Amino acid sequence: MGYVISRTGFESVIEKLGQQYRLYAPVRKVGEGRYTDVDVVRYDFVTKFDEIELEAKSDYAFKELLTPLSQTLFFFTENEVKEADFDDRDVIIFLRSCDMHAVKRLDAIYLENKFADPFYERIRKRVKFALIGCAHSYEDCFCVDMGTNRTTEGYLFSIDVAGDEIKSDVACPDVAALFEAADAKAEEVVPAYVTENEVRVTVPEKVPNEIYKHGMWDEYTARCINCGRCNFVCPTCTCYTMQDVFYTDNGKVGERRRVGASCMVDGYTNVAGGGQYRRTNGERMRFKVLHKVYDFRKRFGYDMCVGCGRCDMVCPEYISFANCINKLNDAVNELEGGASK
Amino acid sequence: MARDINTKKLKKNAFRYSKVRGETASRIRIPGGVINAKSMAKIAEVAETYGNGTIFVTNRQGVELPGIALEDMPAVNKAIQSIIDDSGVNQEERDKGYPASGTRNVVACPGSRLCPFGCYDTTEFARKMDKMIFPNNLHVKIAFTGCSNDCGKVRMDDFGIIGMTEPQYDPNRCVGCEQCIKYCNIRSVGALSLVNGKVVRDTDLCIGCGVCVAYCPTRAWTRSKEHYFRLVLLGRTGKKNPRLAEDFIKWADEQSIMDIVKNAYAYVEEYIDPNAYEGKEHIGYIVDRTGFDEFFKWIMKDVKLNDKAEVAHRIYWGGKHYDRSNNLK
């Protein structure tokens, strides 16, 4: 069922939902961007509708709730371990279609990859979604070619702002009751979605092993500064590393932390004895790109990249991941004369 | 017709006394270093019409139009009116050019308008300062720079304002990638270290340059809401004792800096050598005479610093003393 509701009506719906759920949404953090007097849009908890940034694309993804940048898993003393406290209240995440598709990829990695990660699972079970409609494509988006531009299920309700009104496709009866109580007008609503992006990509169907030594990666060795921003803003990057910390004033007590990791940053492939599997930034780029548009597909049947374009938005060296996919496709064609997907 | 020119008035009116007899140069003031393109076109037009067709770009972000006949000064003053209007410089009488030349153009590096490391809008602050102090005949130099790189070379000025941000750290967003530490070491002072997986900032060493913020991939480091400044005092060039300005206040706020500069003008009016040649004396030489304590008392009058500000209560300057010995053997 769908509803058209006034802004004030919708504000009351959000306020009521906020009493039942923690609301996790894109928020404009004024002045917290990289540069002076520049904002950043990233996810945070909100209680009011007007705190949600619905116009701009978020610079950072929603994944920070499901896979926190830094999370204490447990504390330890000599012979005991205590799991860190966990906020087990239900959550609604407000996200766009590409990010809804990213959730499927996070689930694949953390729940369906041989065994379920308990720390991911316990929060994932608490999470529901609200879909933010996309009335237009943004710069750097390539969701259409990645097949993530449309979401038709899996959300409680959708949001499309149309002037002073909000249009919602409501899938959850409890939420529908809130809309009814706020004098919403019943009307068929299809969440807005884009059907074309300015950025186009062609993902190669098969990638031959010779790509490993192809010269196309050398460019990235020269250009990339291995900052890893592309990974940290990506809604589907799932890598983490562990920190075992021993408190300085009592070395027998400490905690284990799980922190986000990046396959572009120094140290990611370090092994005992001083080895490092991917030294150059070109090798790291190769690993990342093939993982996103090939290797993941070999295991799960679909590509990991959802085409949100955040990596292109954040790269300080103007390296385009989307363009790299196209270069990869060209290189594959050159190697095999192979057909594209 | 006999040429009868008052050179004192000429200089005060921002024309240069030229070595070429009968010629002058018009000195255009561009506070904050930013001017609209149409004014730049006007400058070119005046240089073509009245000057010798060349433009000298000065060290203090002004321009000088050489080769102007002394007789054309009134016409040039009329012609540059639109530039004065556009650059927002205070004036006493329209079509009469600049009312003073003693207090020099207020300089600014590109600052946060362009530069990734700029900690504030240097041009805006420079313009605000110029509005307060100009016109004035006292020989005072003020310059603004966005960060401690000091591309504005503000330590050569009487008052140098260096942008600072106080890095804000959210350990919950930190993954311990150590890029802030790496770039603080390479590009700044090495104030950061990793302790138990999280970053510790040495607040004494930190110069508030914001390099950590610029390189943090996760927004664990962000800039403080407040824009802070390092105020450095009494640098100068010259034939006696050129020297770099020394630190006076760290983590100062904008209003305090405005108040201090205003107070400094009152101090100079009180203590300047009445016989100073052409009424010009670098403030530093006056301070040498009165002692730093008296200077401090004057400039800090009614200044209300924020709690974070650190103030040096005694400053010693170094520099080259040409006036003592120049023997390099």
Same domain, B24 and B82: yes
* Runs of H (alpha helix) within chain B: 7-12, 37-49, 73-79, 81-87, 122-133, 179-187, 211-215, 254-271, 283-290, 292-299
- Beta strands A91-96; A22-29: pairing state: parallel
User: Å from B217 to nearest chain A CA?
Assistant: 5
Mean pLDDT confidence for B69-77 = 96
> Is residue A143 pLDDT above 80, yes or no?
yes
Determine the pLDDT at residue A339.
47
% of residues, chain B, pLDDT over 90: 97
CA B14 – CA B32 distance, rounded (Å): 18
| Digit-coded pLDDT (tens) for A5-48 | 999 999 999 999 999 999 999 999 999 999 999 999 999 999 99
Query: Does residue B213 lie within any of the structural domains?
Result: yes
Is the torsion defined by CA of A242, A247, A253, A255 positive or negative? negative
Determine the pLDDT at residue A206.
92
Domain spans, chain A: 2-67+85-186, 209-238+264-336
Q: Which residue reads 């942008």 in tokens?
A: B163
> Is residue A336 pLDDT above 90, yes or no?
no
Same domain, B233 and B271: yes
Determine the pLDDT at residue A100.
98
- pTM score, whole prediction: 0.94
| Chain B residue nearest residue A67, CA to CA | B173
- Beta strands A81-83; A70-76: pairing state: antiparallel
Q: What is the mean pLDDT of chain A?
A: 95
Domain that holds residue B115: 107-163+228-311
Q: Is the peptide bond before B31 cis (omega within 30 degrees of 0)?
A: no
Determine the pLDDT at residue A1.
86
Same domain, B247 and B273: yes
We report the CATH number of the domain holding residue B192 as: 3.30.70.20
**Terminal alpha carbon distance of chain A:** 36
Name which of A32, A228, A259 is nearest B222 (Cβ-Cβ): A32
Query: Does residue B282 lie within any of the structural domains?
Result: yes
| Chain A residue nearest residue B218, CA to CA | A232
Same domain, B146 and B249: yes
Name which of B118, B120, B171 is nearest A70 (Cβ-Cβ): B171
Determine the pLDDT at residue B3.
85
Same domain, B125 and B262: yes
> Is residue A340 pLDDT above 80, yes or no?
no
| Digit-coded pLDDT (tens) for A187-238 | 999 999 999 999 999 999 999 999 999 999 999 999 999 999 999 999 999 9
**Contact (Cβ atoms closer than 8 angstroms) between residue A282 and residue A218:** yes
Distances (CA, A) of A96 to A52, A306, B117: 13, 11, 33
> Is residue A338 pLDDT above 70, yes or no?
no
We report the CATH number of the domain holding residue B29 as: 3.30.70.3340
- What is the total count of domains within chain B? 3
Determine the pLDDT at residue B60.
96
- Please name the helix (run of DSSP H) or strand (run of DSSP E) that holds residue B252, with its range, or none: strand B246-252
Same domain, B290 and B200: no
Determine the pLDDT at residue A235.
98
- Beta strands B192-195; B159-164: pairing state: unpaired
Name which of B165, B196, B216 is nearest A245 (Cβ-Cβ): B196
Per-residue confidence band for B325, with pLDDT thresholds at 50, 70 and 90: confident
Q: How many CA atoms lie within 13 A of A114 on its CB side?
A: 1
ipTM for the assembly:
0.94
Q: How many CA atoms lie within 13 A of B141 on its CB side?
A: 24
The candidate with the shortest Cα–Cα distance to A22, out of A43, A46, A42, A41, is A46
Rounded (10°) CA dihedral A295, A296, A302, A306: -110
> Is residue B221 pLDDT above 90, yes or no?
yes
Query: Does residue B317 lie within any of the structural domains?
Result: no
Burial of B193-219, coded b for 16+ CB within 10 Å and e otherwise, reads eeeebbbebeeeebbbbbbbbbbbbbb
**Contact (Cβ atoms closer than 8 angstroms) between residue B291 and residue B298:** no
Name which of B146, B174, B214 is nearest A34 (Cβ-Cβ): B214
Contact B217 A70 (CB under 8 A): no
Query: Does residue B101 lie within any of the structural domains?
Result: no
Same domain, B156 and B139: yes
Query: Does residue B323 lie within any of the structural domains?
Result: no
Query: Does residue B95 lie within any of the structural domains?
Result: no
**Contact (Cβ atoms closer than 8 angstroms) between residue B102 and residue B281:** no
Determine the pLDDT at residue B278.
87
CA A220 – CA A226 distance, rounded (Å): 10
| Digit-coded pLDDT (tens) for A35-94 | 999 999 999 999 999 999 999 999 999 999 999 999 999 999 999 999 999 999 999 999
The candidate with the shortest Cα–Cα distance to B158, out of B322, B305, B317, is B317
Same domain, B59 and B113: no
| Digit-coded pLDDT (tens) for A219-233 | 999 999 999 999 999
Same domain, B266 and B150: yes
Query: Does residue B126 lie within any of the structural domains?
Result: yes
Mean pLDDT confidence for A160-169 = 96
Contact B217 A68 (CB under 8 A): no
| Chain B residue nearest residue A248, CA to CA | B196
| Digit-coded pLDDT (tens) for B101-125 | 999 999 999 999 999 999 999 999 9
| Digit-coded pLDDT (tens) for B239-296 | 999 999 999 999 999 999 999 999 999 999 999 999 999 888 999 999 999 999 999 9
Same domain, B237 and B211: no
CB < 8 Å to A310, chain B: none
User: Å from A116 to nearest chain B CA?
Assistant: 23
**Contact (Cβ atoms closer than 8 angstroms) between residue B66 and residue B1:** no
What residues pair up with A82 in beta bridges, in sequence order? A75
Q: Which residue reads 């909000």 in tokens?
A: A166
Contact B223 A31 (CB under 8 A): yes
